[in-house]
Amino acid sequence: MKWSLSLGRVSGIKVFIHWTFLILVSWIILQNALQGQTLEQIFWAVIFILAIFACVFLHELGHALAARHYGIQTQDITILPIGGLARLQNLPEDPKQELVVALAGPAVNVVIAACLFIMISILPFSQENFDVMTIDSRTFLYTLFFANLILALFNLIPAFPMDGGRVLRALLSFRLSWVKATRIAASVGQVLAIFFVVIGLFYNPILLLIGFFIFLGAQAEASFSEKRSLMQGFHVYDVIMKDFRTVSVEDELTDAVELLLNGQSTVFLVLEGDHVAGTLSKNEIIKALSEYGKHVKIGDVMNRQVETLSYDMPLEKAYQQFQQKRLMVMPVIENGSLMGIVDVENIHEFIMIKHAVGAEKSRSKAAEEPYHYSS
């Protein structure tokens, strides 16, 4: 994810922290200082927020390790001010796996809460002037205990993108097709979202935000599952364009502009000799044109990130690569030779056409879109 600082690896999974998280911590320090809190109080407020996010991280790690148990790797875990995000490389294959992976996150918070409960019962705390609303060395464990219970319960709300939404879909999938189960789970989520928004309007603006968040999450999940089901059974060779234009690293930008104006293509492969050195999309051409003028060498302004697809790769997997790498076009290479290109717009058109003819297939067995677990 952009704007993230790397914290290293845990169990081989890359861990990032989004820089906005630092703003959150600074804001807490500032808020507390403005309210005339002592240094000790500020210290505990910061320790508390760090502890919460450590719990959020462990929650994500729970999803990641449960997924690994089924042979599904996790690309990375990012800690955001609104929670955590684990990007799984595949989707769990059957409802039972999805159920276990979805429940693993909240289960971690339940375990942490249980450990804290034991610690609280054993440690000799003085009950004098005990106020859970101010965090200090005595109330810290109590507050963290409640925070973990809330994390577990909140994530079990049966609505996408919460874990509870996935739990609901998994339970429905035991009986229904995956697409149908997603649709029902998404609708349940949206009804809940509207409920949150209405309650939020009258009582609490945070609920309002949560409501919008759930509504959009449910919509995204439904459209994603629809796309996946439409791509199923198709391969890169179904969408490959064998008739495509190339430019050379030595060409000037104006040559690409010519091609753009005179033809149908909006993305080009940039060749250096006979190998693909980069790509150039319409937007990149326009941007480079305004920044460097039309006589700049294409080799200096092209997108150097080149990812290749293979001819018989499943379409879902190819689409997943486009999304992960944020590329517009990829060359298809088979046995070392360039077979053609796939442009992300082709895939979108393909999906639209399939959608129009109503080609719907049943649940996928091996979908490989990154699967976002948020908490």
| Residues near Zn ion (CB under 5 A) | 105, 155, 163, 373, 375
Q: d(Cα 349, Cα 128) in Å, to the nearest integer?
A: 68
The CB-nearest residue to Zn ion is 105
Q: Which is nearer to Zn ion, 109 or 321 (CB)?
A: 109
Nearest-approach distance from CB 108 to Zn ion, in angstroms: 9
Nearest-approach distance from CB 224 to Zn ion, in angstroms: 17
Q: Which is nearer to Zn ion, 90 or 279 (CB)?
A: 90
Q: d(Cα 64, Cα 73) in Å, to the nearest integer?
A: 7
- Pairing type for strands 275-281 and 4-10 reads unpaired
Nearest-approach distance from CB 72 to Zn ion, in angstroms: 15
Nearest-approach distance from CB 59 to Zn ion, in angstroms: 5
Q: d(Cα 36, Cα 23) in Å, to the nearest integer?
A: 20
Measure the CA angle with vertex 297, ends 292 and 302; round to 5°: 85
Dihedral angle, C-alpha 197, 199, 204, 205, nearest 10 °: 20
Measure the CA angle with vertex 169, ends 12 and 11; round to 5°: 5
Nearest-approach distance from CB 163 to Zn ion, in angstroms: 4
- Cis peptide upstream of residue 161 (ω within 30 degrees of 0): yes
Q: Which is nearer to Zn ion, 98 or 163 (CB)?
A: 163
Q: d(Cα 172, Cα 165) in Å, to the nearest integer?
A: 11
Q: Which is nearer to Zn ion, 66 or 344 (CB)?
A: 66
Q: Which is nearer to Zn ion, 164 or 340 (CB)?
A: 164
